[in-house]
Amino acid sequence: MSLWTPDGEHEIDRSSSENPIADTEEDTNLEDLPGFDELTTEQQEQARAMAAELAAARQRLSQTPAAEVIANHVMGIYELAAIHLSDETPKLNEAQIAIDAMTGIVEALEGRLGENENVIKDALQQIQMAYVQVASIEAQGEET
């Protein structure tokens, strides 16, 4: 197995007992990364700051219930569908993909989405109704 990076493909040793996902900034020596020594001092400091920021974000995310993160992503999918429906020329196929994805998540995780589940279900019904309305208007426009 390999991992793609901007520096190219890097082979991953799957026989290793180490967990690359568990690596944190403390475990990763930035100086060992390909090309790090070619960066200016300012760029190296920026890379260190970004790595620290990423490690902090990962820590915060690991402390957030998965249902909350999923709910946030589902609402992003809702927004995606709404954007496609509200275009000057609505993109019904694109909106349908987003609505289907949202439906799939809501149905697969029914009863497990926490306190936001009712809000998510209401949003799904609203975007489905909006889709039907926009599709109906588009169909009427094509008939004339």
pTM for this structure? 0.69
Residue 113: C-alpha distances to residues 36, 59, 80, 86, 105 (Å): 42, 22, 20, 28, 10
* 2 touches 9 (CB < 8 A): yes
pLDDT tens, residue order, the chain (144 aa): 555 555 556 665 555 555 545 544 455 688 888 888 888 899 888 888 888 899 999 999 999 999 999 999 999 999 999 999 999 999 999 999 999 999 999 999 999 999 999 999 999 999 999 999 999 999 998 876
Please choose, from the candidates 59, 74, 76, 77, the residue with its C-alpha nearest in 3D space to the C-alpha of residue 108: 74
